[in-house]
Amino acid sequence: MRYLLSRFYAFLLLIFTLVLIGISLQSLRGGSAASIITGQRASEKDIQKLDEKYASDKNIVFQAIDMISKYIRFDFGETIKGEPVFKLINESFRNTFVLAILAAAFALIYGIVFGLFSHAKEKYRTAIVAVNYIVLANPIFILSLILLWVFSLFLSWLPPGGALLNGWYILPAAALGLKAGCRLALFTDEFTGREKKNQYVTTAKAYGFSNAKIYFIFILKNILLPLLSFWLLDFASYLAGAAIVETIFSVPGIGRLLLRALMQYDLNLIMGILVFVSVLVFLVGTVQEGIDRYTAKFSQTNG
């Protein structure tokens, strides 16, 4: 209970910080939201009305308190075009959610398979580890463009993106989950290297079990919980990289919606997306922390 309360207070602090940052960024651009919405030919009276509506004529503390009070009532307001913010986020997040789930699945499968395979087949270990480090050294937009060129333009195996063709999720999901999969593969490789020194592995080899059964069943069972914990911890990277991947592959998700909000100087939409994503990351982090606590308790019990 104390842990949940501490996480809740930390979450409130995060929301307050996000609100202050958002309002501060508004002042850095110059002018007010009202002047951008109405345009250069608008009268002072029109600008003043919109300033009062969006509270942009008030000081930063008043704006922050007003915004937080609305979030508590689940009121994210409207965009500068009068569209409900929550409706836009909900529609866009469906694609991002599916994309994130597929990317997470890709990362989990890639990380476990190649991390264990590098020890089951020692002669390939150096090459697998080198490839993982090369992928991690490159930014996500470079990896996305390489995948797009190889599998869509050169081989013509997969559609380049969009939201209409069959299989359009595959390339963006692979691009989004590749770096996380490489990180997980390196962790799996390290955990496997420690685990295979235990006595039960030597005993299993003496009994004639195959490498596939030893690594993919016996060892995997013992390292699965810490791997899942790390896998959940990396979930935030899928949301962080979604904006770039969705732009390259033309995915109508929350990442592209955030870019639109930034380009249109739409503070309500920007803050709605940030708060929405923060809630998701907070929930995933809570689950991940729970797995860590359970793993530690399990280790103490069996230690």
Cβ-proximal residues to 19 (8 Å cutoff; 6+ apart), any chain: 64, 67, 68, 271
| pLDDT under 70: residue ranges of the chain | 1, 3-4, 21-61, 63, 74, 162-166, 236-237, 239-241, 288, 290-303
Angle at CA of residue 104, ends 101 and 110, nearest 5°: 140
Give the pLDDT confidence score for residue 256 in this predicted structure.
80
Exposed, middle or buried: residue 215 (CB in 10 Å: 0-12, 13-18, 19+)?
buried
The pLDDT of residue 141 is 85
Show Cβ contacts of residue 166 under 8 Å, excluding neighbours closer than 6 positions: 159
**Residues pairing with 170 in the sheet:** none
pTM of the model: 0.71
List, as one string, the DSSP characters of 162-208: -SSSTTTTHHHHHHHHHHHHHHHHHHHHHHHHHHTTSHHHHHHHHTT
Residue 162 makes CB contacts below 8 A (sequence gap 6+) with 168, 249, 250, 251
Whole-number Å distance between alpha carbons of 247 and 84 = 23
User: What contacts 24+ positions apart, CB below 8 Å, involve 50-59?
Assistant: 54/267, 54/268, 56/26, 56/32, 57/32
Among residues 172, 171, 185, 170, which one has the least CA distance to residue 107?
A: 185
Query: Which residues have C-beta within 8 Å of that of residue 294, sequence separation ≥ 6?
Result: 225
CB distance 108 to 231 below 8 Å = yes
CB 276 within 8 A of CB 260: no
Is residue 75 helix, strand or coil? Answer: coil
Instruction: Say how many C-beta atoms besides its own lie within 10 A of residue 80's C-beta.
Output: 19
pLDDT at 165: 61
Q: What letter would DSSP give residue 78? A: B
Of 245, 289, 300, 292, the residue nearest 11 (C-alpha): 289
Q: So what's the pLDDT on residue 90?
A: 81
Question: What is the pLDDT, as a whole number, of residue 109?
Answer: 93
